[in-house]
C-alpha cells in the first residue's frame, strides 16, 4: 500500500506528463477542490488545463526535490521548467487527504532569478 507521500508524488508525475485524468482517477476524492487562482475551482477545468499545458510544453521538466508527510497533509517541493532552456521555478504543492484520497490541493511557485544572491540556491 502506498503512503500518502507516494500517492501525492505519483499524482504530480502523472499530471506533469499530461495524464491528469489518470492522476485524478487514481488519487482524487469525489469532492476534490484546488486553490490555484488561475483556474475555476472545479476538477474538470483543472484537469483540462493540465492536459493543455502538457500538449503546449511537451519537453517540460518536473523534478521532485523532497516530500514531507504529516498526518493527512503532504507537501512536495519541486523544480520545474516549462521548456529545457527556461529558468527554474520552485514549486510547492500541499495536499490534504481524506480516506487515502486527495480532497484539497494548494500550489505555490517562485521563479528562480537569473542571478541569485543566496549561495545556497532554491533547491
pLDDT of residue 76: 98
pLDDT of residue 39: 87
pLDDT of residue 22: 97
CA 10 to chain centroid, in Å, comes to: 10
List the domains of the chain with CATH numbers. Answer: 4-111 (3.10.450.50)
The pLDDT mean for the chain works out to 94
Q: How many angstroms separate the CA atoms of 28 and 102, rounded?
A: 5
pLDDT of residue 42: 85
pLDDT of residue 102: 98
Q: What is the pLDDT of residues 17-45, one digit of tens each?
A: 999 999 999 999 999 999 988 889 889 99
| C-beta separation of 99 from 3 below 8 A | no
23, with CB counted inside 10 A (0-12, 13-18, 19+), is buried
Beta-carbon count within 10 A of 48 CB: 14
| C-beta separation of 89 from 115 below 8 A | no
* Below-50 pLDDT ranges, the chain: none
pLDDT of residue 49: 92
pLDDT of residue 41: 85
Amino acid at each position: 500500500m502506498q503512503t500518502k507521500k507516494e500517492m501525492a508524488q505519483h499524482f504530480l508525475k502523472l499530471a506533469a506528463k499530461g495524464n491528469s485524468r489518470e492522476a485524478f482517477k487514481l488519487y482524487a476524492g469525489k469532492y476534490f477542490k484546488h486553490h490555484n487562482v488561475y483556474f475555476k475551482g472545479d476538477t474538470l477545468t483543472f484537469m483540462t488545463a493540465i492536459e493543455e499545458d502538457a500538449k503546449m510544453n511537451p519537453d517540460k521538466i518536473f523534478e521532485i526535490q523532497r516530500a514531507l508527510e504529516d498526518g493527512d497533509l503532504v507537501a512536495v517541493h519541486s523544480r520545474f521548467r516549462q521548456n529545457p532552456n527556461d529558468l527554474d521555478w520552485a514549486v510547492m504543492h500541499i495536499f490534504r487527504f481524506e480516506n487515502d484520497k486527495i480532497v484539497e490541493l494548494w500550489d505555490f511557485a517562485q521563479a528562480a532569478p537569473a542571478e541569485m544572491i543566496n549561495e545556497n540556491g532554491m533547491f
